[in-house]
Structure 1
Amino acid sequence: MTIPIIITLCGLLLIAYVFDLTSSLTKIPSVLLLLLLGWIVRQVSQLMKINIPDLTGLLPFLGTIGLILIVLEGALELDFDKSKKIIIVKSFFVALIPILLLSFLLAFLFQYFENISYKLSLTNAIPFCIISSSVAISSVKNLTTSNREFVVYESSLSDILGVLFFNYIALNSVINLQSAGAFTVQLLIIALISFFATLALSYLLSKIEHNIKFVPIILLLILIYAISEIYHLPALIFILLFGLFLGNLDQLKQFKWIQMLRPRELNKEVHKFKELIVEITFLIRALFFLLFGYLIKRSDILNAETLIWAITIVALVFLFRAILLKLFKLPLSPLLFIAPRGLVNVLLFLAIIPSQNISFVNTSLVIQVIILTALIMMIGLMFTKNPVTITIKNEQITETVAE
């Protein structure tokens, strides 16, 4: 039985790799193909009467590890030099404002139709208001540099800000000045932990001479994250700061204490570390969406009761997005279409304790929102002009041509 499982997993992951390779050509988001592939595996296993144990418990585990790695990968990509100041500021507000406005509006609608407390409605609304960097970043490889950078900044910040907002609302029974003060203290504590832990891990990364050096660093990252979560600290802040520190060593060379870490040698190790993180992230992300697709039932996709809510949520997402892009003088095409939902949204939905669940905020609604936003992104990217670089007499000229 072991060998068939190994063969199946390797085959599925290789197919997932092909999806990732061809997504820039087909314009089909790999998340859609992975969900479909997982669903087909379920149908085949049922048809062949293969007994597969309940895998539901693996989803939060893969989601948590995936979230850590995705935020770390995004943070390592963020370049905070002075030339990026404008795009960073714009991406921060374009990430933050929709989370707040859409969350409060959806919470009002949920409260109106379900007659429940506003806080409970807000807890259920937030998971739909966050852009999934795991889907967005992997789907914009062929865009212009400026658009691609904006998507990386915005989606990474959306993940982090959204999770922080969700944790604050979900973990506090009462939202008042006292809870806000406690949350501020938690932020200060995790910032302090992040500072010392980042220095310690960076020092280890620069000093370890053993053949195995990156896996212990990753395990320590996950361990610190997990312990911080036990004490309800915003642990993603630590992952973000660690990634930003390693990804921006060149901007920190002016500080004398940085020289203790041997920044030139450390930069080489960071490059290797980043490559490893990208590959592991792909593996975990593929497994997550394959498993999620496997767990999807046909009735979840075709649920007419939640479809109207899914369409309403998606319409509001793109309405707010269009307004903000116009407000911040950013191009509507293709940025308007790149607001997918994915791993982080599923993970936050699963994090809502049963006693706080709203009847119609269920798996069907989450799946429908993910599929609709992915389809809109796919259609938008299909009609987007791709940059083509032409070399003439040793000079690079970048042109934009329609496909």
Structure 2
Amino acid sequence: MSILITVCVLLLLAYIFDLTASFTKIPSVILLLVSGWLVKQACHALKINVPDLDPLLPVLGTVGLILIVLEGSLELEVDKTKFPMIKKSIAVACIPMVVLALLLGYFFKHVGGYTLKDSITYAIPFCVISSAIAIPSVSGLHSRVREFVVFETSMSDILGVLFFNFVALNAVINTDSLIEFFIQIVVITVLSFIATICLSLLLTKVNHHIKYSPIIIIIILFYGISKIYHLPGLVFIIIFGLLLGNIKELSKLKFLRKIQYQAIETEVKKLHELSIEAAFLIRSLFFLLFGFLMHTREVLNPDTILYALGIVAAIIIIRLLQLAFYRIPLVPILFIAPRGLITILLFVAIIPEPTGSVVTKSLVIQVIVISALVMMLGLMLTPKQMLAESQHEKLR
């Protein structure tokens, strides 16, 4: 019973952290990690034996990733007027990711003595912006800033995972592996389109009072199966979400005009609301658990703190150059580049685990905390007049 009460109290605290994030400018991830760590200290002080919870972390992370990408893709509205912003957000998400991965890869190879392929694999988790942290943190900013952050961070999550899987799963990176990867993208795109139509019809045809949970379960099942066959399952989720979120666009296709789009739109809104609620719960549990599993020595590890500061500095510098190139207002977007759930999930997925004293769990934790603090300070120091509508015309 005490475990149940503790979990409920922690989740209510997580809700308060999320609710007040736009006012306090403090990323909820920091508060969740601290809360999890404090619970662990309390367990030690009270001599409470806790079973090994490590196996739960990748499970919560995977489900959280699926729900976050689904939530983000359902939220994205795609039309001709937003194409310029979409192009910019994809470029800002993709180009710095590749550049930073190569730079960090060469650095890890030189300092840690890893192979170049392994070094780039280890580097990619540090190159992905966390939508789970960024999106809630900008809820109080201008609508164009929020929209840009949603597009950019969602693309960063998806492209980052695809990039990681491509490098990690291919023993050799050559033309054949690129062709195979392209074929996988085409296959998953076709399957995604078919699945979207089927699930859309399911939404309108099923009269049972339970209809959204099975769809989310099917999505998670599809992702799990796609991982077995090394297919990019996140592509299915993003395409599914984009098509459902912009279902009106499908009405232009002749063979789909008989579908009741208005009914589907109503159901999609409810599905979106459910995905938001579920993503919040899983995300909160994930960071609370990660905080619980943290050791103080890992956070304060002096051997990796300079590396962590250097990585965050590189993130900001590369981001600065990219935003300046596209003439995107620097404030506050420059600082909104936190690392989080995807970084942890990809790091945990690395097989075999990195050896040596460079790429460690300490480095991951420190980069996450420092990047979140940079975002917090950036948002706190942003003058209100900088958030005026005229400052963000170039985000269109």
Same fold (TM over 0.5): yes
Q: Partner residue of 1:205? A: 203
Q: Does the CA-based 8 Å contact 2:336-2:375 persist in structure 1? A: yes
Number of residue-to-residue matches in the alignment: 391
**CA distance, structure 2, for counterparts of residue 37 and residue 209 of structure 1:** 42
Q: Partner residue of 1:121? A: 119
Q: 1:134 to 1:355 in 2, by over 3 A?
A: closer
* Cα deviation, residue 187, structure 1: 1.2
Task: Write the deviation string for residues 171-202 of structure 1: whole angstroms up to 9, x where unpaired.
Answer: 01111111111111211221121121111111
- Normalised to the residue count of structure 1, the TM-score between the two structures is 0.94
Identity %: 53
**CA distance, structure 1, for counterparts of residue 134 and residue 125 of structure 2:** 16
Amino acid at match of 1:79: E
Amino acid at match of 2:123: A
* Cα deviation, residue 250, structure 1: 2.5
After superposition, the CA RMSD in angstroms is: 1.7
**CA distance, structure 1, for counterparts of residue 186 and residue 71 of structure 2:** 24
**CA distance, structure 2, for counterparts of residue 331 and residue 31 of structure 1:** 26
**CA distance, structure 2, for counterparts of residue 49 and residue 260 of structure 1:** 64
**CA distance, structure 2, for counterparts of residue 114 and residue 206 of structure 1:** 55
Task: Write the deviation string for residues 344-371 of structure 1: whole angstroms up to 9, x where unpaired.
Answer: 1100000001255554211100000000
Q: Partner residue of 2:64? A: 66
3-state SS of 2:331 partner: helix
Q: Partner residue of 2:132? A: 134
Q: Does the CA-based 8 Å contact 1:144-1:386 persist in structure 2? A: no
Q: Does the CA-based 8 Å contact 2:331-2:386 persist in structure 1? A: no
* Cα deviation, residue 385, structure 1: 3.9
Q: 1:355 to 1:363 in 2, by over 3 A?
A: closer
Task: Write the deviation string for residues 261-313 of structure 1: whole angstroms up to 9, x where unpaired.
Answer: 31001100101110110000000000000000000100001101111110110
3-state SS of 1:253 partner: helix
3-state SS of 1:55 partner: coil
Q: 1:329 to 1:197 in 2, by over 3 A?
A: same
Q: Partner residue of 1:394? A: none
Q: Does the CA-based 8 Å contact 2:111-2:358 persist in structure 1? A: no
Q: Does the CA-based 8 Å contact 1:143-1:387 persist in structure 2? A: no
Task: Write the deviation string for residues 226-255 of structure 1: whole angstroms up to 9, x where unpaired.
Answer: 000001101000000000001111333222
Q: Partner residue of 2:394? A: none
**CA distance, structure 2, for counterparts of residue 335 and residue 131 of structure 1:** 12
Does 2:260 align with 1:262? yes
**CA distance, structure 1, for counterparts of residue 371 and residue 48 of structure 2:** 33
Task: Write the deviation string for residues 142-169 of structure 1: whole angstroms up to 9, x where unpaired.
Answer: 1111111100000000000010000000
Q: 1:273 to 1:385 in 2, by over 3 A?
A: farther
Within 5 Å, give how 1:141-156 maps onto structure 2: 141-156=139-154
Q: Partner residue of 1:290? A: 288
Q: Partner residue of 1:384? A: 382
**CA distance, structure 1, for counterparts of residue 313 and residue 390 of structure 2:** 33
Q: 1:186 to 1:358 in 2, by over 3 A?
A: farther
Q: 1:52 to 1:97 in 2, by over 3 A?
A: same
Amino acid at match of 2:368: I
Amino acid at match of 2:360: N
* Cα deviation, residue 25, structure 1: 1.0
- Normalised to the residue count of structure 2, the TM-score between the two structures is 0.96
**CA distance, structure 1, for counterparts of residue 381 and residue 248 of structure 2:** 38
* Cα deviation, residue 16, structure 1: 0.6
Amino acid at match of 1:91: S
3-state SS of 1:261 partner: coil
Q: Does the CA-based 8 Å contact 2:251-2:261 persist in structure 1? A: yes
Q: Partner residue of 2:361? A: 363
Q: 1:358 to 1:188 in 2, by over 3 A?
A: farther
Q: Identify which range, 154-163 or 180-189, moves more after superposition.
A: 180-189
* Cα deviation, residue 80, structure 1: 0.7
Q: Does the CA-based 8 Å contact 2:142-2:389 persist in structure 1? A: no
**CA distance, structure 1, for counterparts of residue 356 and residue 203 of structure 2:** 46
Amino acid at match of 1:27: K
3-state SS of 2:335 partner: coil
Q: Does the CA-based 8 Å contact 1:133-1:155 persist in structure 2? A: yes
Q: Does the CA-based 8 Å contact 1:142-1:386 persist in structure 2? A: no
**CA distance, structure 2, for counterparts of residue 208 and residue 11 of structure 1:** 36
Q: Identify which range, 359-368 or 315-324, moves more after superposition.
A: 359-368
Q: Does the CA-based 8 Å contact 1:387-1:399 persist in structure 2? A: no
Q: Partner residue of 2:248? A: 250
**CA distance, structure 2, for counterparts of residue 184 and residue 86 of structure 1:** 25
Q: Does the CA-based 8 Å contact 1:190-1:233 persist in structure 2? A: yes
Q: 1:176 to 1:399 in 2, by over 3 A?
A: closer
Alignment gaps of 5+ in structure 2: 392-396
Q: Find 1:240's aligned residue among 234, 238, 241.
A: 238
Q: Partner residue of 2:42? A: 44
Q: Find 2:339's aligned residue among 332, 337, 341.
A: 341
Q: Find 2:194's aligned residue among 171, 193, 196.
A: 196
**CA distance, structure 1, for counterparts of residue 33 and residue 227 of structure 2:** 29
* Cα deviation, residue 258, structure 1: 3.3
Q: 1:178 to 1:9 in 2, by over 3 A?
A: same
Q: Partner residue of 2:74? A: 76
Q: Does the CA-based 8 Å contact 2:106-2:116 persist in structure 1? A: yes
Q: Does the CA-based 8 Å contact 2:112-2:358 persist in structure 1? A: no
Q: 1:356 to 1:41 in 2, by over 3 A?
A: closer
Q: Does the CA-based 8 Å contact 2:354-2:360 persist in structure 1? A: no
**CA distance, structure 1, for counterparts of residue 225 and residue 306 of structure 2:** 40
Q: Partner residue of 2:157? A: 159
Q: Does the CA-based 8 Å contact 2:132-2:341 persist in structure 1? A: yes
Alignment gaps of 5+ in structure 1: 390-396
